[in-house]
């Protein structure tokens, strides 16, 4: 009796499923599609003629820089009390040796008078940059015109004849699924081309650059391809190959290129001014979470978490909790969208912000400031060759600093610079310049302006000890 009941239940359930399944209509394509067979005797399917000129526009870039490293010596020697008595805490400095580092990458010729765009990380801190052109054995010394670490782009220039500038595509013409080609110098092997498609557009939050709006592709991009060209099937430049995401170090089919609109914007500024100046608003922003979307009328925009003091945002009335959803009639979808949009404007330029505050729409007219005048960005050097960064939670965790620790950390010291000769080291924390206490990057700029023409005393914290340097 029990078994019979169970069978009835199972059969009933199956009948119910079949009844509902009969109501499903599947969308299908036409049957028997036509198949086109290439004329294998007379035709070869090839993009050669379309991209051959673009290949001539891609060059090999070789950068050299000399760095100091600690020679391999027993750690007991560094801790020996007898040696420390004579050499002090600078014992390790006595055993530093000089090494020559080489990096290989690619570049793209963008003008007949020798301007070449590449990645900042290819030429950053280089003592010497050399360029070789496809089909030419000669090496050309390159001059660095300008670098921008925030976008990871740089412009260099060579004196050479017969250069072939690449043709630029239009960013608005790009579509996911388009056939593309990556041209570059992988592993220093010379000219190489790989094929793929556009896997995604407007990729951000990758955590690579400050300003991210990447083209993602599955075309093989390997070490040495950095700075090379990503072109469409016509051979027109759509991006500059930048990085890959890989667990093995090789190509896993996830590569990123800086899009052409950002490339053109940054390249123009670097050629005209030697640096990139960006508009500065002065807000801490975030995206709308699922929970917060229930709080706001609008479902897209950049949420203001905080407003920094003495910034345009504070001056013109932005408040914590405001949702910025439009700038100059351009929609703002998220925080990255806001960051990239503001960066495209110049300092002192007037913009119109449309915001939601307490479920009501408002309009604010704001004059942007110069970001470089308020902060020492990672691509500019100060005090004779120092690259600085603001101490944040990530740095505090990395270096196990106290939670209330404030100051500005030296990120890097340019080789052969005055700062290196004075004795600054990467990892030093600047705590005071003359009578100005240093808590943020803008304090450094203020101190430099105040004591521009005089010798400056710079106090740094190194492993808990305060050291004083004098900078002219």
Task: Enumerate the active-site residues.
Answer: 121, 152, 226
Residues 6 or more apart whose CB falls under 8 angstroms from that of 155 comprise 115, 116, 117, 118, 144, 145, 146, 267, 270, 271
Tokens found for residue 335: 């925080």
Q: Are strands 139-141 and 283-286 parallel, antiparallel or unpaired?
A: unpaired
Mapped onto helix, strand or coil, the DSSP state of residue 335 is helix
Give the Å distances, CA to CA, from 376 to 273, 444, 448. 17, 8, 11
Give the long-range contacts of residues 343-352, CB within 8 A, separation 24 or more. 343/150, 343/211, 343/278, 343/279, 344/265, 344/278, 344/279, 345/278, 345/279, 346/277, 346/278, 346/279, 347/277, 347/278, 347/279, 347/280, 347/371, 347/373, 349/279, 351/279, 351/327, 352/327, 352/328
Closest by Cα among 151, 204, 201, 172 to 335: 204
Dist. CA 299–CA 63, nearest whole Å = 47
Dist. CA 232–CA 90, nearest whole Å = 55
Tokens found for residue 212: 């991210």
Compute the chain's Rg from CA coordinates.
28
- Contact, 201 vs 176, CB < 8 A? yes
């Amino acid at each position: 009796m029990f078994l019979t009941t169970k069978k009835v239940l199972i059969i009933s359930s199956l009948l119910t499923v079949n009844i509902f399944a009969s109501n499903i209509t599947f969308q299908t394509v036409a049957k028997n599609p036509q198949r086109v067979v290439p004329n294998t005797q007379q035709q070869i399917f090839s993009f050669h003629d379309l991209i051959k000129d673009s290949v001539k526009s891609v060059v090999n870039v070789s950068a050299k820089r000399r760095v100091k490293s600690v020679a391999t010596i027993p750690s007991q020697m560094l801790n020996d009390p007898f040696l420390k008595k004579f050499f002090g805490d600078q014992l390790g400095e006595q055993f530093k040796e000089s090494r020559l580092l080489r990096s290989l990458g690619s570049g793209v010729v963008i003008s007949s008078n020798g301007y070449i765009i590449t990645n900042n990380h290819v030429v950053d801190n280089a003592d010497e940059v050399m360029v070789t052109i496809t089909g030419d054995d000669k090496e050309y010394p390159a001059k660095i015109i300008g670098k921008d670490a925030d976008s990871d782009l740089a412009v260099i220039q060579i004196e050479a004849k017969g250069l072939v500038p690449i043709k630029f595509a239009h960013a608005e013409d790009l579509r996911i699924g388009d056939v593309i080609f990556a041209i570059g110098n992988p592993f220093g092997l010379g000219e190489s081309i790989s094929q793929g498609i556009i896997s995604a557009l407007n990729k951000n939050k990758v955590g690579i650059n400050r300003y991210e709006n990447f083209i993602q592709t599955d075309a093989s991009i390997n070490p040495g391809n950095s700075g090379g060209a990503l072109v469409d099937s016509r051979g027109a430049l759509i991006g500059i190959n930048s990085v890959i995401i890989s667990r093995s170090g090789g190509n896993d089919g996830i590569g990123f290129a800086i899009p052409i609109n950002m490339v053109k914007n940054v390249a123009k500024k670097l050629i005209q001014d030697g640096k990139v100046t960006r508009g500065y608003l002065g807000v801490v922003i975030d995206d709308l979470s699922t929970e917060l979307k229930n709080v706001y009328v609008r479902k897209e925009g950049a949420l203001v978490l905080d407003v920094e003091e003495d910034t345009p945002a504070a001056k013109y009335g932005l408040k914590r909790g405001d949702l910025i959803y439009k700038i100059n009639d351009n929609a703002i979808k998220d925080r990255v969208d806001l960051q990239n949009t503001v960066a495209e404007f110049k300092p002192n330029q007037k913009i119109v912000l449309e915001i939601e505050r307490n479920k009501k729409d408002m309009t604010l007219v704001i004059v942007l400031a110069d970001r470089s005048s308020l902060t020492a960005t990672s691509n500019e050097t100060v005090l004779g060759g120092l690259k600085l960064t603001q101490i944040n939670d990530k740095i505090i965790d990395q270096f196990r600093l106290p939670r209330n620790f404030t100051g500005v950390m030296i990120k890097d010291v340019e080789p052969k610079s005055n700062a290196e000769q004075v004795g600054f080291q990467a990892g030093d924390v600047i705590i005071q310049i003359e009578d100005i206490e240093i808590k943020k990057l803008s304090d450094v700029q203020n101190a430099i302006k105040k004591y521009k023409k005089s010798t400056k005393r710079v106090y740094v914290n190194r492993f808990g000890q305060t050291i004083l340097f004098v900078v002219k």
